[in-house]
Amino acid sequence: MVCLIGRWVNYRPQPDAVPNLRRRARSYKEIRMSAHFDIAAIGNAIVDVIAPAGEAFLAEHALTKGSMMLIDEGRARALYAKMAPGIETSGGSAGNTVAGVASLGGRAAYIGKVADDQLGEVFAHDMRAIGAAFETAPLKGGAATGRCLVNVTPDGQRTMCTFLGAATELAAADVAPAVIEGAAIVYLEGYLFDPPEARRAFAKAAGLARASGRMIALSLSDSFVVERHRKGLLEFIETEVDLLFANEAEICALFETSDFEAAAAAVRGRCRIAALTRSERGSVAVTKTEAHAVPAEPVDAVIDTTGAGDQYAAGFMFGLARGRPLADCARLGSLAAAEVISHYGPRPQVALADLAAARRLTPA
């Protein structure tokens, strides 16, 4: 176990085109002492509709297993009509991560757009009920709260079709500077690259984070997102991102290779830390000079992998925000992911803080 934090203390961002907007990057200790939140996350606020499905269902509806596809309202209605009975639960990648951080005992804030409707109320309730700060004003008189139709096959894999709805209206004005500037790590989901307005919010958050010396974390979200926005994502990673999350398919898509080792080698040095997840093969956290492989946490049965990556990010970032060595961050990620794949739904059903304590992984 090598502690990366010591290195990060001395980390100074490279100057960019607008150096005057940047303050000196703070030391880790400075960041931690000055942060109201461990994590502030920005994402597409989405309610999940989760139902079991057979392989034939995916084939019939031309869905690629394990992926996320954007659909419009008409397609969402048609697909929903064909789905099995399900449960509804607050989701959204970064929202799930915030729930995980809160479950670990962390202080988290969320920025995302729901509508002024029943599912929007559910989303806001769940966010506040876990103790997360969520003050984004709901959209009135526009699209409905976004929803993600999640079809879970018997192997536990989830295939997602998302109608973004109100989430696309997340605007730069929704990015509250106090939230961004008050967080040790600012976490952005790659899905935000899809809606143009949200992308502006994304850019504003990154700018504020950089200017206030906060750490910027990014999740690649989905290999199709990477295909759609490869150039923009690469540029953003190289210029702004301190901590990158990607699964095997995503990192391979980013570097247009089918060889994980090649992709992992390619990402090293492009950002401070890359945390790469490999399902049952665990994860590897790499920096320019180090690599820490951590095995997956064993589970009795994989029921539904929805939220696995989100919870991994929650565990990893909570560890990092609290000064744990990188390998422990990865272990916290694995622990959180294992909990969420052992039941339906993308958020923890038990207090992750208790699981972490049992493993002596509780950060200070």
326 binds a copy of itself (CB under 8 A): no
Give the closest residue to 330 by CA, choosing from 270, 275, 280.
275
Residue 9 or 299 with smaller CB distance to a copy of itself? 299
| Nearest-angstrom CA–CA distance, 152 and 55 | 9
Q: Say if CB 124 and CB 114 are below 8 A apart.
A: yes
Q: Which stretch binds a copy of itself (CB under 8 A): 88-96, 223-231, 261-269, 284-292?
A: 88-96
Among the listed residues 15, 19, 74, 85, the single contact to a copy of itself using CB under 8 A = 85
| Alpha carbons within 13 A on the beta-carbon side of 143 | 18
Shortest distance, position 314 Cβ to a copy of itself, whole Å? 14
d(C-alpha 40, C-alpha 31), whole Å: 13
Q: Two tokens at 193?
A: 């690259």
Q: Which amino acid is at 10?
A: N
Q: Which is nearer to a copy of itself, 123 or 187 (CB)?
A: 123
**Identity of the residue numbered 105:** G
Q: Which of 86, 190, 213, 315 binds a copy of itself (CB under 8 A)?
A: 86
Is 304 a binding residue for a copy of itself by CB under 8 A? The answer is no
# residues near a copy of itself by CB under 8 A: 30
Binding mask 40-69 for a copy of itself (x = CB under 8 A): ---------x-xx-----------------
Residue 339 binds a copy of itself (CB under 8 A): no
DSSP 270: T
Residue 222, interface with a copy of itself (CB under 8 A)?
Answer: no
- 173 near a copy of itself (CB under 8 A): no
Interatomic CA distance for residues 171 and 188, integer angstroms: 14
93 part of the interface to a copy of itself, by CB under 8 A: no
- Binder among 4, 108, 130, 201 for a copy of itself (CB under 8 A): 130
The smaller minimum CB distance to a copy of itself, of residues 152 and 192, is found at 152
Residue-wise burial string across 202-241, b where 16 or more C-beta atoms lie within 10 A, e elsewhere: bbbbbbbbbbbbbbbbbbbbbbbbbeebeeebeebbeebb
Question: Residue 161 pairs with which residues in a beta bridge?
Answer: 69, 149
Q: Residue numbers of the site for a copy of itself (CB under 8 A)?
A: 49, 51-52, 80-81, 83-90, 99, 117-119, 122, 125-130, 144-145, 344-345, 347, 349
